[in-house]
């Protein structure tokens, strides 16, 4: 009797383990390129995508949209805002160096469906600089979306 219970419990644990393994897939269909011009320490233009078509499909929706929505200079530092619809991990790079989120704003009232991340990229220096962002959904379909921008400071 005890052996049968242990076998049943072992089988249940194996099934739970099998269904808890996470697999990540890469989908480059969400690639967004933007050009941002900064002159006289101010942003003169931002070109790129908008954040339309937002739908909530689950308590933790997958990433469905990502875009660089703003860039500015404050207190001598460059800041870049990235809007993400859905939940996922974030990786941001400024001139090939990883930067971490400075502030996070939640989108939604009762249910959060997205985020606006503001990254502090460091001191503003004259020249062209690259900013890239990548996120992969925490849940199905585990898609990866990216956005990139070139910032020119003069």
pLDDT tens digit sequence for 96-127:
999 987 899 999 887 888 999 999 999 999 99
Residue 125 sits in a domain of what CATH number? 2.60.40.10
C-alpha to C-alpha distances, 59 to 48, 55, 85, 116, 139, nearest whole angstrom: 29, 11, 13, 18, 11
DSSP letters for 52-63: ------SSSPBP
Residue 150 CB neighbour total at 10 angstroms? 13
**Quick one: pLDDT at residue 7?**
62
DSSP letter, residue 111: S
Q: Write the DSSP symbol of residue 87.
A: B
Residues 119 and 140: beta-carbon distance below 8 Å: no
Please state, in angstroms and rounded to a whole number, the distance separating the CA atoms of residues 81 and 93: 13
The residue range of the domain holding 146 is 24-153
How many domains does one find in the chain? 1
Q: Say what percent of the chain tops pLDDT 90.
A: 50
CB 113 within 8 A of CB 85: yes
Please check whether residue 17 lies inside any domain of the structure: no
Q: Each residue of 52-75: pLDDT tens digit?
A: 455 544 457 899 999 999 999 999
CB 65 within 8 A of CB 145: yes
Q: Is 36 within the bounds of a domain?
A: yes
What band does 88 get if pLDDT is binned at 50, 70 and 90? very high
Does residue 83 lie in a domain region?
Answer: yes
pTM higher than the cut 0.75: no
86 pLDDT exceeds 50?
Answer: yes
The per-residue pLDDT of the chain, averaged, comes to: 75
Given a contact cutoff of 8 angstroms between Cβ atoms, the answer to whether 56 and 111 are in contact is yes
Q: What is the pLDDT of residue 55?
A: 54
């Amino acid at each position: 009797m005890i052996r049968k219970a242990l076998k049943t419990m072992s089988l249940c644990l194996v099934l739970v383990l099998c269904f808890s393994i996470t697999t990540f897939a890469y989908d480059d269909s969400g690639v967004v390129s933007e050009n941002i011009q900064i002159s006289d320490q101010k942003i003169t233009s931002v070109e790129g995508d908008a954040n339309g078509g937002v739908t909530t499909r689950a308590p933790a929706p997958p990433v469905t949209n990502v875009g660089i929505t703003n860039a500015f200079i404050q207190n001598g530092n460059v800041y870049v805002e990235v809007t993400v619809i859905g939940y996922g991990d974030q990786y941001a790079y400024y001139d090939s160096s990883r930067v971490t989120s400075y502030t996070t704003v939640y989108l939604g009232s009762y249910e959060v469906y997205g985020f606006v991340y503001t990254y502090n990229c460091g001191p503003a220096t004259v020249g062209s600089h690259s900013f890239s962002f990548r996120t992969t959904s925490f849940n199905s379909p585990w898609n990866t979306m990216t956005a990139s921008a070139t910032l020119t400071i003069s």
